[in-house]
Structure 1
Amino acid sequence: MQRFLNALLNQRWPGFKVKHHAVLPEKEPVFGTLRPPLPQALEESLTRMGISALYAHQTEALEMIRAGRNIVVATPTSSGKSLIYNLAVTEGLSENHEQRALYLFPIKALSRDQLATLENFFEMSAQAGAGMRFRTAVYDGDTTPYQRTKVRQHLPHVLLTNPDMMHYALLPFHGKWENFWKDLRFVVIDEMHTYRGVFGSHVSQIFRRLRRICEYYGTHPQFILLSATISNPRQLAGQLIGAPEDDIDVVVENGSPQAKRHFVFLEPEEIAAAPVSSSAARLIAHAARTGLKTIAFTRSRRLTELVHMSVLRMAPQLRKRVSSYRAGFLPEERRIIEQKLSGGALDAVISTSALEMGIDIGGLDLCILVGYPGTVMTTWQRGGRVGRSGRESAIVLLPQPDALDQYIVHHPQDFLNSGYELAVTDPMNEEILKTHLPCAAAELPILQREVDADPVLTRVVSELTESARLLRAADGEQWLSAALNPHRTVDIRSVGPSYAIFMESDSDRKLPLGKNEGIRALKECHPGAIYLHRGETYQVERLDLEKRTIQVSACNVPYFTRVKSEKETEILEVFASKPVGNFIVRLGRLRVTENILGYEKRKLFTQELLGSDPLDLPPQTFETVGFWIEIEPLLAKNIQAANLHFMGGIHALEHAAISMFPLFALCDRNDIGGISIPLHPQIEKGAVFIYDGYPGGIGLAARGYEIIGDLLLKTKELIASCDCTDGCPGCIHSPKCGSGNKPLDKKAAHLLLRYLLGELNLAEKVPAIDPENIPVAASNPPAPAAVPEYRIGFFDLETQRLADEVGGWQNKHLMKVSVAVLLETPPDTVHVFRENEVPELVKRLTELDLVVGFNIAQFDYAVLKAYTTVDLNRLPTFDLLRDIHERLGFRLSLGHLAEKTLGRPKISDGVQAVEWYRQNRWDSLIEYCKMDVLLTRDLFRFALENGYLLYTDRRNRLLRIPTPWSLDALVKK
């Protein structure tokens, strides 16, 4: 290890240099004392295994399990989590031999790896006098029909399986497992953190179906969940098993020791100067020569194969000592590689995420991260695969030329000192619910009380009933599945239809090569695409969309392929909206359509463009959840006035914001998508959309909506800190941009972010920017002026009738209130009142230090006068329209002032508001009234902070109205 590190730190390496070297000191163990102690036989079995004491987190967890609590243990990899549940289950089985336990792992390899550990543990326990030898069995896709029958006939004490088999075999045929469910005491869910995103949404429904089956057979098993370190283990556990968070205890303090580790952050000598695959291959070959066992993790299947090919080119003698490993390999291929790695026959393996979980692959010394894994949790999870034997180990981060990688490498202390991200999933994703409810109904009828428990369930069951996928019983109290085996059509791991990849052989037989799924199949395996598999290249000859097959042939070409596409989005529903800085952000349901237009051919190791070809593939459309930032028209004009490219600016902002998103939630860049549109037809202004990349949404967009301010701050920091002039892969370029990263304008994105975050007022023009100089962002934007904590209300109302219907404006008191909106601050709380609630409105008005409105004195109070004996004119009131009229001598509309000052026009008018009332369109009416109140509030705040408002005169000159207002004076007036 020292020889390798000395060479890495002191020699010159082509293509990269060391940016930072962190030494993570060894950590001493912290032991705990279990009260009462384990049974003597279990103590002896631990001694036989070389374990003399339990760590503090292990004893804490065992005591919680003994108390009957559902628990989640979220500690680092190699901290002894599996010993916790093996001890707990063995102790429980020793007390009652009839009890059963269910172990669930996300992948088959982990089930079989843990089976060997468990059987060894049971054997030692039996030898130590624990009693009978408890039976174990794996039940998964590799279990033969004969073995499956034997398992059901002789039920094991511990059944090891995965969510797939729960879905396809155990739950649909629960009657064959009746005695197992009746005696089920423990459900162990390992690698809980993997159940996030769309996979987590599927698995959460499977666990809910499991709890229904258990309840039917009269059991309520205890859940033991194990996770890598994440920031919300209790929340994720509750979402997965459908339990209140109060019913789950958490163990996060880690008592296990840690050997000395090195973390080396590398930096490319020049962005995109040397292919990352070549640099990674150089490190792998050098590690092999110095006798280190190495695992290299990449972020994509293609990169895995490129690194493998580069190693073989540089060091042909390693051909039998190095292998790639990834999803898409056939099961027997993966099993052979695992055996060779754990047996020492391989010096190195290059893997996607497929090997980051706790499969025993022997003692490894060096972990090379070919690209930042995307999250803090995943980085330490992958780094935890080395140094398990207590030996000194190293993690080397070799960044890819993209924004997040460059941010991490240039802020190593931010990474090393950072907390762990949230694991996000959406257990009530409606698209996924629609697939699992028929499965649940086929297992046991869905009851009315279950449907009534959640409005989402009520809605989805209604839709499934209308489409005849669920059938309602005659008594109206139960729903049954229309299909006999609906589970067979549900793929819990795929985001779309699965495609089988075949290679034609000399004997005309189709040899299976792998699989691909969803839109990824269309992007990676379109006709003409180059498909990489285990260091070999294949060309796609045919893509059959109906049969879902892909035919390839072996080839030897010096290029790879990448698709070009275009996207459009339609807003279907708005869930939430809030103002932040100088913009409005909204969360809602979207329809996204992507058209794959063609593909590029790029040179294998330099990415040089060699040519492009068109494609004729059907558009891919899905509905999802997203948030969007609305860009005010005035801001667009300001960007253009600064000689910058508005479309290039919002496009660059979109790329950079998506790059920074994984700092806040566990996700992959493929989990989220984005679209930037200079003039969206529905909102009639520019917008940047960021959305969940899966139908129905998986919770990421909702998280983005929550932290939008922090996300944009990180985005601005990324762009401002990058040394490039016009944008590069380290800041605003995206490797998955369907338009080939055109147009992009780094300077425009930087200026946009300063406006959006409130560093610049929307009305503040920036001089035309010298194209040679990018403006430096203020590291600490000026804090807003302190405002005394007065209770202020911003108020507006709409009426049921028009003025000409009551005999003219002198009869405003006859127009009647349809709806009124009062925004009280601090905090900004919106109250909506209908006509029968006007007394409560008046009461609130009388309790405020100041009421602010637009034409409030002459109109709103005149309408309200019909409902109260309170003299409203005596309330502390500030009328913006009256003050402006007194200064200018003429009246200006709210819409005019808002558009010129804030860049935000009114969305309608009073006549339309009356029409909405008569049509009973309350949502539109209330939204319009709310928006007028927000415009009034924002104009008032702008005037207080800047001392003026803007308007245009008859000659179309943009002018200032002086507003020398003081909040103190207005309140006391």
Structure 2
Amino acid sequence: MDINDLIIYRRTMPERSARYAGFPAELPEELREYLQKNGVRGLYIHQAEMFLRSLKRENVVITTSTASGKTLGFLLPVIEEILRNPLARAVFIYPTKALASDQYRAILPYIEYFGKNRISAGVYDGDTPAGERSRIRKEANIILTNPEMVNGALLPNHSKFGFDFIFANLKFVVIDELHTYRGVFGSHLANVFRRLHRVCRYYGSSPVFLCSSATIANPVELAEEICGKKFVRIERDGSPAAERTYLLIKPPKILGHDKKYYGQVQATAVAAELIPELVEQRKNFIAFARSRRNVEVILKEARDRLEAECPASASQADKISGYRGGYTPAERKEIEHKMVTGALCGLVSTNALELGIDIGKIDATVLAGYPGTRASFWQQTGRAGRSGRACTNYLILDSQPFDQYIGTNPGWLFENSSESAVVDKNNLLIELSHIRAAAAEIPLTLDDASVFPDLGETIPVLMRAKELTGQNGKFVWSGGSFPAGDYSLRGIDPNRYKLLLKDSGKEITEMDEMQAFREIHPGAVYLHSGVQYQVVTLDLETRTARAVPFNGNYYTTPMGNTDITIIHGRKEKPWKRIDAVFGDVNVNAQVSLYRKLQFHNHQNLGYEQINPSLSREFETESVWLKLPGNVVTAYRRLLQESPNGQMIRNNHFEGLCYALRSAARLVTMTEQEDIGTTVSTNAVYAEKSVEESVFLFLYDQYTGGLGYAEKAYELIPEIIENGIAMVRGCPCEDGCAACVGDYHLDKSMVLWGLRNMLEESEVPKHVKMAPYGPSTFIQKPFRFDELEAQWKAFTAMLLKNGEPFASFLNTVNAVRTEGRRLALITDQPFYREWIMEETNRKALNNLISYYTDAPKGFELEVEVRKKEENRRNGCDTGGGTAGKKAGNSGEGSTGIESEGFGDSEDDGEMQRKLEQRLDKLKKKEN
């Protein structure tokens, strides 16, 4: 394909001249002389403003463009303070170790000019040798570090190793790339700074906060939420800029034999064709992909093309490399060095290179799909043209809703303001982790209730766990030695999974549980640095997966179902024809299938089942919409069951979910994994009553929630209007993966459903509806309350379908149902402990839920009946006296014995959650 033929939009931003403010009178003469000797004619207007405001001890967030000299803006006030006060200390915080090391190189010229006896600095991270760490603690005025080191080294050791002197003399805290601290990461950092303020107060210091951020809608709000201080914003940009050209690339359509539109060629495939052209033109470039998997797909396909075009030499293929999380620090440093020295001419990266790491002069950027936010778009394209030379930026529009919307409305990308960043520093589970760490640093007092809002709920839980002891009105830490090491700042789930080579045991990568279930399930093809591996086992107990080298011509993507149970609503509002509620829900997300997609043409090679399915259950925040009755009725009448009965086809509820999730991401600055959508199970699986309300859920995919769903609740009208615009504006005729998620779905019906949230209308006349009636709803094969009578038929069906645990369940003598509970009756005492083990219990719950209309969160129990009680006159009567049972109350129950079906006593929902979280943290600690 010719890339030039695929250009649908071109915009050139002309060269921009600098605007100077000269040198402020308050700038020390020796600092002015240094700048002039290094070619600085004067400060840009934004640099001068930042210097003057910081002298007034104002907390500042600066949001000027990429490569605008923000680093100099916050360096000058810090160095001015150090030259005036040699004891002054400043902590510079960067989101990655690589960026901290890169920015250290920008400080070295100041050290060389003024002398180490006047200014000293150092990078303090996990790679810093012990001797250098000691030097930095004793001498360094400027400490460059990352949030993990502040959390795990500086704060827990504030009274040791010289950190007390640093905190007592701390004048500045500098946070670079503030916009990256949103969601989980930002919520953790906000709590780290809560602890930092406690420690600073203890030593009598009150540092000024200086932040830099990409352009977002709420930089002041974000800075104040994370840093806990009042801020002012600097946005007037005085820096020059080279001419920049932006090209929007529309991949070719995929047409069937009937000339029907079946989507488009994927953006990754177009990027893999464009990259060899850039290599041949000797352009230095960065190609950005939206996932680690896509990085490896583009890298492999681009190398394949380069090798095919130059079979006599593989040197051209060696001129490009991948760059992403999952590579070791040594691998990333080597790649950065090769790029700077010219050994490489291009990188294929995730957003890891969106930040300002110096990798030499970049002539072009290639975005394989819109990165999800305008802020990321400008950051990624801003990597090119920093040397003052004109640059070209390619945005290849993928088959995603955002991309298609931009294709028809390019002005939205270039002319509208950026999105708002969301954090929730009061997430209960995150706050608990940092309260434990804070208690170990300095005893908790009543004053800390103003620091941690949930302190009153948390202290009793920690005292019952013997982690806090009351002493003279204070609460002193008496738990493990290092609570700050019990969690990751970049996730809520403390569980980490490792992928190992099967034969050697060498570690390939590490990830959290949510990512592990998607990427390293049995059968998954995992790509790392262009090399393919196939996962052969996943052990949930040891949290390790093992893989073997793989040479197949496909990669895999996961699929599954999500069930939601409403816990309670917090606030509610009607709008047009829907009722919107925000509150707490329980989510059971299952990965049960994976799809095999061929390299290069990305054709679907089929589906494979994951046995047993992988299930992740958690409580979070959600907004749910009660769907209009006419929409529910119409969509139900379109449902079809696949021939094998395993999948539901023509499910327009899924199209509605897809459109609204895409629209919600437009306004919440979220990644794909941050928010999820689904409809209540009764939308598809209906019993005798058909009048029950059907809800559509948009939920945070993190335990406890991070504020995304609440933001969506506030913007429901805008989200629905955006959803209508995105589906209506898609270039497909009947529906495709971009607008409704599946080309089998009727676009007009999804659009009709969205519009009927606003105003009632008739179903499109061309749509053929099945006759209305209960018989048209998809029924589960068995009723839960009839399992006692149909148990043998049920297990026979499981055996026929080859389900895991079928053979075992066939040995169960009988079952008993009562309300929401199902008791398995057996004469083997060992089975009770084995069945109620967490992994096995969840797998059995999922299996029974899949084939029956079991109530959400039903309770699985085991009754052990002695053989002599179960047999009378040599016959198995199924009667006798029940022995002790193992109870399951849905979450966290692992074989607790009980006498009968009596309800457990509720000690308080919040404290239950805290105790569960505490248990996980303590397990990790041990």
Q: Given the two structures, how large is their TM-score scaled by the length of structure 2?
A: 0.77
Q: Which residue number corresponds to residue 265 of structure 2? A: 274
Q: Distance in 2 between matches of 1:590 and 1:444?
A: 35
1:472 CA displacement: 4.0
**1:586 to 2:565 alignment:** no
**In the alignment, what sits opposite 2:627?**
631
Partner of 1:655: 658
Equivalent residue, structure 1, for 2:260: none
Instruction: Please state if 1:207 is matched with 2:196.
Output: no
The change in CA–CA distance for 1:155 and 1:577 in structure 2 (over 3 A counts) is same
- The aligned counterpart of 1:104 is 93
Instruction: Classify 1:158/1:453 alpha carbon distance in 2 versus 1 (closer, same or farther; 3 Å).
Output: closer
Aligned counterpart for 2:245 among listed residues 218, 243, 262: 262
Q: Which moved more, 1:670-679 or 1:51-60?
A: 670-679
Deviation sequence 1:884-933 (CA, Å, 0-9, x none): xxxxxxxxxxxxxxxxxxxxxxxxxxxxxxxxxxxxxxxxxxxxxxxxxx
The 2-side partners of 1:333 and 1:604 are apart by 25
CA–CA distance in structure 2, aligned partners of residues 701 and 408 of structure 1? 24
Structure 2 CA distance for partners of 1:203 and 1:250, relative to 1, 3 Å? same
Deviations 1:281-306 (CA, angstroms, capped at 9, x unpaired): 22111112112111100000111011
Q: CA deviation at 1:413?
A: 1.0
The SS at the match of 1:685 is: coil
1:771–1:464 distance in 2 versus 1, CA, 3 Å:
same
Identity of aligned residues (%): 33
Supply the distance in 2 between the matched residues of 1:299 and 1:718 (Cα, whole angstroms): 20
Verify: 1:672 aligned to 2:669, yes or no. Answer: no
CA contact (8 A) 2:561 2:590 kept: yes
**Quick one: structure 1 residues 94 and 146, their matched pair in 2 at CA, closer, same or farther if it must change by over 3 Å?**
closer
Q: What's the CA shift string for 1:509-566, capped at 9, x where partnerless?
A: 4322222222211211012211101111111122222222222211100111222211
SS of equivalent to 1:756: coil
Larger Rg belongs to = 1
Q: Which among 29, 49, 71 is matched to residue 40 of structure 1?
A: 29
Q: Distance in 2 between matches of 1:584 and 1:654?
A: 16
Moved more, 203-212 or 627-636: 627-636
Change (3 A) 1:542 1:441: same
What displacement does 1:666 show?
1.7
Q: Give the counterpart of 1:283 among 261, 274, 278.
A: 274
Could you say which residue in structure 1 is the equivalent of 2:127?
A: 142
Q: Partners in 1 of 2:373 and 2:188 — Cα distance?
A: 22
Q: Secondary structure at the match of 1:216?
A: helix
User: Residue 368 of structure 1 corresponds to which residue in structure 2?
Assistant: 366
Q: Aligned letter for 1:696?
A: G
Query: Where do 1:808-827 residues align within 5 Å?
Result: none
SS in 2 for 1:502: strand
In 2, Cα distance between equivalents of 1:618 and 1:265: 39
Aligned residue in 2 for 1:322? 320
Deviation at 1:122, TM superposition (A): 2.8
Which residue of the partner structure matches residue 699 of structure 2? 691
Alignment equivalent of 1:124, drawn from 81, 102, 113: 113
Q: Within 2, Cα distance between the matches of 1:630 and 1:237?
A: 36
Matched-pair contact (CA < 8 Å) for 2:628–2:756: no
- Could you say what secondary structure the match of 1:201 adopts? helix
Q: 2:829 — aligned with what?
A: none
Residue of structure 1 aligned with 2:52, choices 60, 63, 79: 63
8 Å Cα contact 2:83-2:119 kept in structure 1: no
- Report the Cα distance in structure 2 between the residues aligned to 1:35 and 1:322, rounded to whole angstroms: 45
Distance change >3 Å, CA 600–CA 184, structure 1 → 2: same
The CA distance in 1 between the partners of 2:767 and 2:628, in whole Å, is 24
Distance 2:575 2:609 in 1: 42
1:541 to 536, 551, 556: 536
Q: For 1:165 and 1:525, how far apart are their aligned partners in 2?
A: 29
**Cα separation, 2, equivalents of 1:182 and 1:550:** 47
- In the superposition, relative to structure 1, how do residues 465 and 74 fare at CA in structure 2: closer, same or farther (>3 Å)? farther
Q: Measure the CA separation in 2 of the matches of 1:213 and 1:299.
A: 39
Instruction: Note if 1:235 corresponds to 2:232.
Output: no
Cα distance in 1 for residues equivalent to 2:565 and 2:743: 22
Instruction: Output the CA distance in 1 between the equivalents of 2:500 and 2:243.
Output: 47
TM-score computed with the length of structure 1 as normaliser? 0.73
Kept in 2, the 8 Å contact 1:438–1:469? The answer is: no
Aligned residue type for 2:99: L
1:407 Cα offset (Å)? 0.8
Aligned to 2:202: 216
**Aligned partners of 1:155 and 1:180 also within 8 Å:** no
Unaligned runs of 5+ in 1: 1-10, 734-740, 774-973
Offset of residue 642 of structure 1: 10
1:571 and 2:566 aligned = yes
- Which of the residues 528, 531, 534 maps onto 2:526? 531
| Secondary structure, aligned partner of 1:664 | helix
Contact 1:325 1:354 in 2 (8 A): yes
- Work out the CA distance in 2 between the residues paired with 1:768 and 1:715: 19
User: Which residue number corresponds to residue 23 of structure 1?
Assistant: 12
Q: What residue number does 1:439 align with?
A: 437
Cα distance in structure 2, aligned partners of 1:546 and 1:174: 36
Are the structure 2 counterparts of residues 748 and 459 from structure 1 closer, same or farther at C-alpha, using a change threshold of 3 Å?
Answer: farther
2:717 corresponds in structure 1 to 709
The Cα shift of 1:581 comes to 1.4
Indicate whether 1:313 and 2:313 are aligned: no
Aligned partner of residue 657 in structure 2, secondary structure: helix
Q: Aligned partners of 1:282 and 1:12: how far apart in 2?
A: 9
2:83/2:118 contact within 8 Å kept = no
Using the alignment, how far apart are the partners of 1:224 and 1:530 within structure 2?
Answer: 44
5 Å matches for 1:64-83? 64-83=53-72
Structure 2 match to 1:163: 147
Residue 912 of structure 2: aligned partner: none
Q: Does 1:298 align with 2:293?
A: no
In structure 2, the partner of 1:803 is none
Distance change (3 Å), C-alpha of 1:42 and 1:767: closer
1:235 deviation in Å? 0.5
2:407 to 395, 409, 413: 409
Deviation at 1:458, TM superposition (A): 2.5
**Counterpart code for 1:415:** L
Match for residue 95 of structure 1?
A: 84
Gaps of 5+ in 2: 255-262, 308-313, 641-647, 770-926
Which piece of structure 1 moves more, 647-656 or 311-320?
A: 647-656
Deviations, residues 445-485 of structure 1 (Å, cap 9, x unaligned): 1111212566433333444444x264240444435352221
Distance 1:675 1:340, change over 3 A: same
8 Å CA contact retained: 1:638, 1:766: no
1:490 matches 2:490: no
How far residue 723 of structure 1 moved from its aligned partner, in angstroms, is 3.1
Q: What is the CA distance between 1:422 and its match in structure 2? A: 0.4
How many angstroms does 1:720 deviate by? 1.3
For residues 45-95 of structure 1, what are the alpha-carbon distances to aligned partners after superposition, in whole Å with 9 as ceiling and x for unaligned? 112222111111111111110001111111221111110111111100111
The equivalent of 1:422 in structure 2 is 420
Report the 3-state secondary structure (helix = DSSP H, G, I; strand = E; otherwise coil) of the residue aligned with 2:332: helix
The CA deviation at 1:30 is 1.6
Equivalent residue number for residue 350 of structure 1: 348
| Structure 1 partner of 2:392 | 394
* CA–CA separation in structure 1 for the residues paired with 2:520 and 2:55: 52
**1-side partners of 2:764 and 2:755: how far apart?**
15
Q: Which amino acid aligns with 2:127?
A: D
Matches within 5 A, 1:914-929: none
- CA drift at 1:695: 1.0
Q: 2:616 aligns with which of 614, 620, 628?
A: 620
Structure 1 counterpart of 2:104, one-letter code = L
Partner of 1:248: 231
The aligned residue for residue 510 of structure 1 is 505
Does the alignment pair 1:723 with 2:731?
yes
Kindly provide the amino acid, as one letter, of the partner of residue 632 in structure 1.
Answer: P
SS in 1 for 2:682: strand
| Preserved CA contact (<8 Å) 1:308 1:324 | yes
Give the SS at the match of 1:360: coil
Q: Pick closer, same or farther for the CA change 1:338–1:722 going to 2, 3 Å.
A: same
